[in-house]
């Protein structure tokens, strides 16, 4: 029984039948898994002139056959069929890897040798499916590398700080994590010149490998995270992605970064990074403590869905909302921080306590970058007799005009020595003038007089004056208000009040 084996690629049939070799190479990863098998098929044969007309044409006929062969294999993805007696042995849609046409011993007069190398990511044996490639393998992926890089951001380690008797701050570590996924896909033809899109296959495969994986960050036995007291779990922020697609090469690289920080029972939120420094200076016996800091908010980012209108990139929280929320908590701790620093760096001659009133305060915000900056200054100057949130500065003074002799002057005409001064046996009354100068915040409502005067602590001013007048009334039988003025420049927030008392005793 004769055997008839045919080889066809598209409409071109190789005859006589060439030598056939099939080589299958598995695509393996270092961990032992893989991405399937690449099949390489090689055909080796001759283009031969057999009829009288072909032989008469000689070298021209061989060149014509070579041209026909080149045109037949000029396109990838045609159907390759190896058939034996009408039954398919091997079929598939390959890519042309290489081909060569070379002279034989007759130097192209009757024949020419050829070699064609095909490559197929899948192969059908007869009418069945490819036994080497199945659904357990990702479709048409050639290689994938995935790496994790973990480091302490700015070498920020966890530490505790006691500020004041009731405030205990805990700062957690901050990790900078980089996750890189690099995928290379290969082209494959699933029908007559119908192929997949390699870069899109690479994208789909890479998407399934993205996201945070706690296993590669905590690294028990290496970093041993999380830890440090009450920090029992970790949160992730700032999941930014950088994507690089090589459409021609069919590859994609995705680099995603995370900020990882512990969560738990800390007294400070973990969705921001705060840096600050505290400095102390002294001038003419007054110590000034300055706190300069910046808060960088961290955001929660998400990437979901398949690109439809109901899915995609989203931000669960903004960096600025995180930074401003963090600041609203720590702004009430600035004096405690300044006091803790002052007590640890003040010299032996510094025996005055730090004044809790803020002398200067500067706040800066950057909503676009999600940052809040601040500067607070405290000093050891006493806070003064008057207090209030709207009170920015105060200057209180008491002026006394003491008793003097009362005399009469008699001018004598022609007396070169001048007038005669005569003691008339009495003295002047005493006066005490109280002056109050305040700088307060201007009013925000001018609809009524009460609203206009609302920032001025008039009650405290009067109480202070009553202390002075009460002392005079306790020690002298005659006390009179000799002058009293008041000025309120509410456009700039400057208030002054001056009152003078004249006082004496009825008896000697």
What pLDDT was estimated at residue 128?
Answer: 44
What pLDDT was estimated at residue 348?
Answer: 41
CB 335 within 8 A of CB 356: yes
Give the C-alpha separation, 371 to 42, whole Å.
64
Give the C-alpha separation, 180 to 234, whole Å.
21
Give the C-alpha separation, 157 to 225, whole Å.
12
What pLDDT was estimated at residue 264?
Answer: 54
Which residues touch 395 (CB under 8 Å, ≥6 apart)? 435, 436, 437, 438
What pLDDT was estimated at residue 230?
Answer: 43
- If DSSP codes are grouped into helix, strand and coil, which group holds residue 42? strand
CB 358 within 8 A of CB 391: no
Task: Please name which of 263, 201, 257 lies closest in space to residue 232, comparing C-alpha atoms.
Answer: 263
Task: Please name which of 85, 234, 65, 227 lies closest in space to residue 158, comparing C-alpha atoms.
Answer: 227
Task: Please name which of 244, 256, 30, 246 lies closest in space to residue 145, comparing C-alpha atoms.
Answer: 30
What pLDDT was estimated at residue 346?
Answer: 60
Backbone angles phi, psi at 77, to 5 degrees: 85, 10
392-504 in CATH: which number? 2.40.30
Q: Give CA angle at 471 (466, 473), nearest 5°.
A: 90
What pLDDT was estimated at residue 229?
Answer: 45
What pLDDT was estimated at residue 71?
Answer: 92
Q: Give the pairing type, strands 12-14 and 5-9.
A: antiparallel
Q: Show pLDDT as tens, one digit a residue, over the chain (508 residues).
A: 456 778 888 889 887 778 888 888 888 777 777 777 888 999 998 888 877 777 778 788 889 989 999 999 999 888 888 888 777 778 888 889 999 998 888 888 888 899 999 988 766 655 444 555 555 566 688 888 999 998 888 776 666 777 766 556 777 778 899 999 999 988 888 777 777 888 998 998 898 889 888 877 776 567 666 544 444 567 889 989 999 999 999 999 999 999 988 775 557 888 898 999 999 888 877 888 999 999 999 998 878 755 445 556 666 778 999 999 999 999 988 998 898 888 876 654 456 788 888 888 999 999 999 999 999 999 887 777 887 777 888 889 999 999 888 888 888 888 888 888 888 888 888 999 999 999 998 999 999 999 999 999 999 999 999 999 999 999 999 999 999 999 999 999 999 999 999 999 887 6
Note the pTM of the prediction, 2 decimals. 0.70
Which residues touch 32 (CB under 8 Å, ≥6 apart)? none
Query: Where in the chain is CATH 2.40.30.200?
Result: 5-125
Tokens of 35: 């991405």
5-125 in CATH: which number? 2.40.30.200
Give the C-alpha separation, 488 to 485, whole Å.
10
| Cis peptide, bond prior to residue 343, ω within 30 of zero | no
Give the C-alpha separation, 261 to 254, whole Å.
23
- With residues binned 3-state (H G I as helix, E B as strand, rest as coil), the percentages for the chain, rounded to 5, are 15, 45, 35
Backbone angles phi, psi at 204, to 5 degrees: -60, -40
Encode burial over 69-105: b for 16+ CB neighbours within 10 A, e otherwise. Answer: beebbeebbbbbbbbeeeeebbbbbbbbeeeebeeee
Lookup result for tokens 């007309």 = 53
CB 327 within 8 A of CB 320: no
């Amino acid at each position: 029984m004769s055997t008839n084996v045919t080889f066809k690629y598209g409409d071109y049939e190789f005859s006589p039948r060439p030598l056939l070799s099939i080589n299958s190479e598995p695509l393996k990863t270092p961990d032992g898994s893989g991405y399937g098998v690449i099949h390489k098929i090689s055909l080796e044969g001759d283009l031969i002139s057999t009829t009288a007309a072909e032989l008469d044409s000689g070298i021209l006929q061989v060149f014509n056959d070579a041209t026909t062969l080149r045109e037949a294999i000029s396109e990838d993805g045609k159907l390759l069929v190896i058939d034996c007696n009408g039954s398919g042995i091997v079929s598939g849609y390959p890519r042309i890897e290489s081909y060569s046409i070379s002279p034989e011993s007759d130097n192209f007069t009757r024949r020419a040798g050829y070699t064609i190398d095909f490559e197929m990511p899948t192969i059908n044996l007869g009418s069945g499916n490819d036994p080497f490639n199945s659904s357990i393998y990702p479709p048409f992926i050639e290689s994938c590398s995935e790496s994790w890089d973990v480091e302490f951001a700015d070498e920020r380690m966890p530490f505790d700080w006691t500020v004041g008797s009731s405030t205990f701050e805990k700062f957690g570590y901050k990790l900078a994590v980089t996750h890189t996924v690099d995928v290379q896909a290969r082209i494959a033809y699933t029908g007559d010149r119908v192929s997949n899109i390699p870069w899109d296959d690479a994208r789909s495969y890479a998407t399934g490998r993205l996201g945070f994986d706690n296993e590669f960050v905590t690294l028990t036995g290496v970093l041993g995270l999380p830890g440090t007291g009450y920090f029992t779990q970790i949160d992730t922020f700032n999941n930014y992605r950088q994507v690089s697609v090589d459409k021609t090469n069919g590859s994609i690289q995705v680099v995603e970064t995370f900020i990882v920080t512990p969560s738990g029972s800390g007294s400070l939120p973990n969705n921001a990074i705060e840096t600050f420094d505290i400095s102390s200076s002294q001038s003419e016996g007054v110590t000034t403590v300055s706190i300069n800091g910046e808060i960088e908010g961290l955001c929660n980012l998400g990437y979901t869905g398949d690109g439809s209108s109901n899915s995609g990139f989203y931000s669960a929280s903004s960096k600025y909302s995180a930074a401003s929320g963090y600041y609203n908590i720590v702004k009430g701790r600035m004096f405690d921080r300044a006091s803790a620093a002052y007590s640890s760096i003040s010299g032996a001659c510094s025996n005055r306590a730090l004044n809790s009133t803020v002398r200067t305060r500067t706040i800066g915000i950057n909503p676009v970058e999600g940052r809040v900056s601040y500067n607070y200054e405290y000093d050891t100057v006493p806070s003064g007799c008057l207090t209030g949130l709207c009170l920015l500065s105060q200057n209180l003074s008491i002026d006394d005009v003491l008793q003097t002799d009362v005399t009469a002057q008699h001018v004598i005409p022609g007396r070169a020595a001048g007038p005669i001064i005569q003691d008339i046996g009495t003295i002047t009354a005493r006066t005490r003038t109280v002056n109050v100068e305040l700088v307060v915040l201007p009013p925000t409502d001018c609809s009524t007089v009460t609203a206009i005067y609302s920032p001025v602590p008039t009650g405290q001013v009067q109480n202070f004056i009553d202390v002075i007048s009460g002392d005079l009334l306790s020690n002298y039988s005659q006390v009179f208000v000799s002058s009293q003025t008041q000025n309120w420049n509410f456009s700039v927030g400057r208030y002054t009040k001056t009152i003078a008392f004249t006082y004496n005793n009825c008896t000697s």
